[in-house]
A and B are shown apart, each in its own frame.
Chain A
Amino acid sequence: MDQARLRTLESRCIQEEPPRCRAACPLHVDARALCGHVASGEVDKAWAVLKRHMPLPSVLARICDQPCRAACLRGEAGDPVRVGDLERAVARNPEPLTRTLPVPPRQGRVLVAGAGPSGLTAAWDLAKKGWRVTVVTTAPGPGGPLRDLPPGLLPPEVLDTEIKRLESMGVAFRLESPANPLTSVPEGFDAALVALDDPAQGMASSDAPEPDTLAIGEGLFACGEPVGDPPSWVGLMASGRKAAVSLDRFLQKVSLTAGRDREGPFETRLFTNIEGVEPLPETPMADPAGYSLDEAGAEAARCLDCQCLECVKACPYLAHFQSHPKAYARQIYNNAAIVKGHHTANILINSCMLCGLCTQLCPENFPMAETCLTARRSMVARSKMPPSAFEFALEDMAQACSDICFLARPAPGPDGPDRCDLLFFPGCQLAGSAPDRVEAAYQGLLAADGATGLMLGCCGAPAHWAGQEAMFRDHAAMLRGHWEAMGRPTVIPACPTCLDTLRLALPEAAMESLWEYWARTGLPRGGGRPLPQAAPAVLDPCSARREPGMRQGARAVLKTLGVETLELPRLTGELAFCCGYGGLAHNANPPLADETARQRAAESEADYVTYCAMCRDRLARVGKRVVHVMDLLFASPNESDPAARPDPGFSGRRENRALLRARLLRTIWKEDQAMPDTEAVVLRMSPEVAALLEQRRIMPDDVRRAVAGAESSGRRLTDPATGRRLASFKPRTVTFWVEYSPLEDGFEVFNAWCHRMEIKAVPS
């Protein structure tokens, strides 16, 4: 990703856009931060906010006419915040002393004719940059129309203090009797400014200053044209600031116009959701002179603290890293740009569920999933992907496509081996989670259309999500081979993720989800179909986000079954959020994925019904009562509560896939198969040990081979005291250790662990 693309990407996240108040302020004072500090009673910090952007802060804070108030979003939920009164309340407290670093003086002299608010502001800004400024006015002295303000509003000593401050910044004041109006840069100066808001400078108005730069001649500028009636003080000062920018650039001989499009007030792109915000009226003022600090605090507390964060509010992954997509995009870009160094954004890139919810919610459709997936692909291409991020999931995919689990057959019987109208693709997770249901579903499909083939295997989603483009392409080619051999049938996936992924792998294939198919053609006969006691809530899987047809189909099936359902109150349908399986999040970041499942489970007290096997299993894992639509179709009355069926776990899924294949080959294609559970090596273990192995992702197959290898080769460790043995086995990249004892008919397993570090050599 190059810099230009990064900038475009970053600009789509509006979280760092200023709130309306700040955008509407001609000086872009951070009123949101001001409100935050005033609400917390931090007067010094509030002062600091004012000083950061305001020229002559103790003057402006007292007289500011607050154009921000008209823009304030609180105005759409009550009264807008009285920012001006907050400023005044702060200004009545002593200004905290801050050390200003001396600015190195520069060779450039500016004459400012007129010491009204715009002229003083220009002098302030230019002096801060080191330019040598002389301000000319007439008796009684600097201030212009500021001197005419009532002392209750602007005490003269406050103005004098600011003038003195200007002098200490190096600004020289000269009193002259009214001179001829300035028409060119006078002798002894390099640039000049006519500040029209001080009548003393002699010019009533100026001939059309250039609107973008306020230039009226070479090196000559004019500011302080009154705006509004009565003239806006902050507007006048902003005019002086604008002129100062032009003067500064003129003196440095750089472009007067580049990059000035957001200098004045502008429309912010920040979006803030105020749904559910309680309208609040403004805080009353006991003393008409102004707010007390307490009252100011209460008024400031009404500030909505405008943020966007629409995506962060909805997604535990985005919230977990305590920032927002714009910052994440930068971090991901930097991660990719590092050639030698630390890639600390790997976990950020690999934990995204790639579900697209954020993109849906974002007012600008920020493409977080696309950003992370592209980054993963790049890491894989440059061999920077940490091996442990997705390896287990990829091994799982390989197992689902291995000889003992994979199957691609046209329907048996008189329709012949070549003809196949339809191809049922249940998906490897459904096969692993509920093999009985897959069998029943296929039988049902066959009964309706005898030319329905079956493909048991993985659609390739793990390779796609892991950024393994080459692996995905090869896998897709393999699937295509079978599909073509079966006569290019219409594919019927049961799983929304399979549908999504098969569309990528087999773009030319006709496809209809199982749910739409059944909704259209009628349900198969089921096993007694016990209905749920209370109406469950429909859990849309995140991959059904862009499939309204599938979502309707599933609901239609439920309705036909006579199951009454509820809808989740939020984040459902198009806004469905992931259970933690998407993007292989449960592999790269198990705690975050579990937290996501928990939040999903907590959306409603009701039981859930879903049509994705992983959603079902992942929610069952965190203790939620959840059924798959297949359970409602095919469960028999004497089955124990399907909603309480636990997650079978990784080892369970692998065994189920193998079992399913063998059973279907026997019962449907009438081919004799040795059942996988008559393996030579029989393992026994307590439920605690089984749970431990599951948690450590140590599969029984690897345990069997470790034990078998140790027994046949004799290479093992022994504990003479207990008779236990310790086997070590490295089938691929991980080394497994198994502590076991031989039994009469097999082996008892007591413990197992694994690691990736290899023993290179034993120095003799």
Chain B
Amino acid sequence: MTDGAIKGYAEADARWTCGNCGRPLKPGPVVLTYLGSEFTVELMRCTACGLVLVPEDLALGRMAEVEKLLEDK
């Protein structure tokens, strides 16, 4: 946490490979944005094609919480 690396993926996400080029996905920093605020999160992605995986539990869990918080809902 102290150096800012936020881990958004889980080990199980390594099951996915890029369907475009066939390469396995690798974790790396991705900039997420919502309503003008930006956050850097480590997600699994294809370095060649740029496809990024947003896993289900991140989307429905922490991301949904953050969306609500930023919306002042």
Contacts and interface: CB of A to CB of B under 8 A. Distances in A.
Whether A and B touch (Cβ < 8 Å) is answered with yes
Interface of A: 342-344, 346-347, 384, 386-389, 696, 710, 714-722, 725-726, 728, 735, 737, 751, 753-763
A442 B7 CA distance: 58
B10 interface: no
Chain B contact residues, majority secondary structure: mixed
Nearest to A696: B60
B20 A720 contact: no
Contact of A735 (B49, B54, B66): B54
Contact of A717 (B16, B29, B50, B64): B16
Interface of B: 15-20, 25, 28-35, 38, 45, 49-54, 56, 59-60, 63-64, 66-68, 71-73
B25 to A, nearest CB: 7
Given A347-B73, A753-B59, A717 B19 contact: yes
A715 B49 CA distance: 9
Contacts of A710: 19
Given A346-B72, A716-B19, A716-B20, A758 B29 contact: no
Given A344-B72, A387-B71, A762-B52, A715 B31 contact: no
A715 B73 contact: no
A386 B35 CA distance: 10
B67 A757 contact: yes
B17 A757 contact: no
Contacts of B15: 719, 721-722
A307 B58 CA distance: 46
A753 B32 contact: no
Nearest to A735: B54
Contact of B19 (A387, A715, A755): A715
A517 to B, nearest CB: 42
B54 A388 contact: no
A386 B71 contact: yes
Nearest to B33: A760
B53 A726 contact: yes
A737 B63 contact: no
A726 B72 CA distance: 32
Contacts of A755: 54, 59-60, 63-64, 67
Nearest to B13: A717
A737 B16 contact: no
A759 B58 CA distance: 13
Contacts of B54: 728, 735, 737, 755, 759
A742 to B, nearest CB: 12
B32 to A, nearest CB: 5
A55 to B, nearest CB: 48
B45 A762 contact: yes
Contacts of B34: 756-758
Nearest to A763: B29
Contacts of B19: 710, 714-718, 725-726
17 contacts: A344-B72, A346-B71, A386-B73, A387-B35, A389-B71, A714-B20, A717-B53, A718-B19, A719-B16, A754-B59, A755-B59, A755-B67, A757-B67, A759-B31, A759-B54, A760-B31, A760-B38
Most buried by A among B30, B33, B54: B54
B33 to A, nearest CB: 4
Given A737-B59, A759-B31, 17 more contacts: A346-B71, A347-B73, A386-B72, A388-B68, A388-B71, A388-B73, A714-B20, A715-B49, A718-B17, A719-B17, A725-B19, A754-B59, A755-B59, A757-B32, A760-B32, A762-B31, A762-B45
Give the top 10 A-B pairs by smallest Cβ distance, nearest first: A386-B71, A755-B59, A716-B19, A718-B19, A717-B16, A343-B72, A760-B33, A760-B31, A757-B34, A753-B56
Contact of B73 (A346, A737, A758, A761): A346
A722 B18 CA distance: 14
A735 B67 CA distance: 13
A758 B51 CA distance: 13
B64 to A, nearest CB: 7
Contacts of B38: 760
A547 B33 CA distance: 48
A346 B56 CA distance: 27
A717 B29 CA distance: 18
Contacts of A386: 71-73
A757 B36 CA distance: 10
A714 B69 CA distance: 35
A761 B52 CA distance: 10
A20 B61 CA distance: 51
A634 B14 CA distance: 55
Contacts of B33: 757-758, 760
B3 to A, nearest CB: 16
Contact of A757 (B45, B66, B72, B73): B66
Contacts of A756: 34, 63, 67
B9 to A, nearest CB: 13
Contacts of B35: 387
A722 B25 CA distance: 16
Contacts of A758: 32-34
Contacts of A388: 67-68, 71, 73
Nearest to A344: B72
A727 to B, nearest CB: 9
A754 B63 CA distance: 10
A720 B31 contact: no
B18 A717 contact: yes
A720 B17 contact: yes
A761 B41 CA distance: 11
Contacts of B60: 696, 753, 755
A592 B15 CA distance: 39
Contacts of A757: 32-34, 63, 66-67
Contacts of B45: 762
B52 to A, nearest CB: 5
A389 B73 contact: yes
A759 B30 contact: yes
B72 A715 contact: no
Contact of B16 (A384, A718, A761, A763): A718
Nearest to B64: A755
A342 B72 CA distance: 6
A230 B35 CA distance: 72
A755 B68 CA distance: 11
A759 B52 contact: yes
Most buried by A among B19, B25, B51: B19
Contacts of B53: 717, 726
A721 B67 CA distance: 33
